[in-house]
Amino acid sequence: MLNNTYRKEAQERLRRAVEKYEKACQRLQNAAETLYQTRVKRGVEIIKLCESYINTLTNSPKEFSKVVTELKFQLQEITGKDWELIYAEPNTNVVGSTAGAGVMAGAGVACFGPAAAMAFATTFGTASTGAVISSLSGAAATNAALAWLGGGAVAAGGGGMAAGNVLLAMAGPIGWTIGGAALIGSGMFLSKENKKIGEEANKRAFEIEGLTPKVDAKRTEVYLLEEQTVKLADLISNEVEYFQQNAPKDYHKFSQPLKARLGTLINSIQALSESLKKTVDLKI
């Protein structure tokens, strides 16, 4: 049949492009979920360590307790939970909690659990409605997260769910599949002659091939955020242990170098709090 080979080659190119893109999206989602876990786990560790040290330090400076409280607040923001729940379940696993349903050419989204929604939204969105999403499940969590990505509820001046869907369509359905089989086997392709089918398949393949490296670049940004979290947490942990082993038990007896070093520690804890707020711009 005329242009039959051209059509088949174009469709195969599209299939390969979709498969590669889907894998890149899944890696990005996994990176976001790992970042979330790292932030919660290391944040809880640092708060416990600092509070334990503060309780043993007489005349502890108010700034020390203040930055630890701020860090605790940021953890509550990204998890949507009270501190008691965070403290009790610091290692909650969110990886793999996303439902397997796919997306048809970016027209909709799969439902996902609240923990995965929190991982996604706190990596690519904001933490202003964390408590709301964390208390929802299934379609309700999906809708809340979409509104989140769309800049908040329409009533609050945001774009709502529609804007969230638009964002996902613009950026590619990050974290979900785009339904390669659906693209190739849809009526759009079946109802056209071979040349038009081939041209359309090549056009879609070209677009998706261009998105894949951009998704990979976003994953690198997520990795850098996790690396920053780990470095700051390690630094703080080492410093607190140093003070526990080498500093007087009364802050009033600290030498000036020790006071300056404690000031640096306080700044590091503040930096960790700020790090928890950082997100990756999903627009690609």
Query: How many CA atoms lie within 13 Å of 109's alpha carbon, on the beta-carbon side?
Result: 30
Beta bridge partners of 112: 98
Query: pLDDT value at position 27?
Result: 85
Buried-state track 95-118, b at ≥16 Cβ within 10 A, e below 16: eeebeeebbeebebbebbbbbbbb
Long-range interactions of 164-171: CB distance < 8 A, separation 24+:
165/108, 165/109, 167/282, 167/283, 168/106, 168/109, 169/106, 169/107, 170/283, 170/284, 171/282, 171/283, 171/284
Phi, then psi, of 112 in degrees rounded to 5: -140, 160
Write out the chain's pLDDT in tens, 284 residues. Answer: 567 788 888 888 888 887 888 788 778 888 988 999 999 999 999 999 999 999 999 999 999 999 999 999 998 888 877 777 777 765 555 443 333 322 222 222 333 455 666 777 788 764 344 444 444 444 444 454 445 444 444 444 444 444 444 334 434 433 333 344 344 455 444 545 778 878 888 888 888 888 889 889 999 999 999 999 999 999 999 999 999 999 999 999 999 999 999 999 999 999 999 999 898 887 66
The answer for 59, left when phi > 0, alpha when psi is -120 to 50, beta otherwise, is left
SS3 at position 250: strand
Domain ranges for the chain, please list them.
4-277
Q: Which residues are CB-neighbours of 178 under 8 A, at least 6 positions away?
A: 18, 21, 22, 25, 102, 103, 105, 106, 172, 208
Give the Cα separation of 162 and 46 in Å (integer): 39
Side-chain half-sphere of 276: how many Cα atoms within 13 Å? Answer: 28
> Phi/psi at 158 (nearest 5 deg)?
-90, -175
Tokens of 218: 């976003």
Inter-CA distances, 159 with 84, 124, 144, 187, 212, Å: 33, 16, 12, 32, 27
Question: For residues 156 and 162, what is the distance between their CA atoms, to the nearest angstrom?
Answer: 14
* 249 secondary structure, DSSP code: S
Question: Are 4 and 194 spatial neighbours (Cβ–Cβ below 8 Å)?
Answer: yes
Q: Give the C-alpha separation, 46 to 39, whole Å.
A: 10
Predicted TM-score of the model (pTM):
0.72
pLDDT of amino acid 96: 39
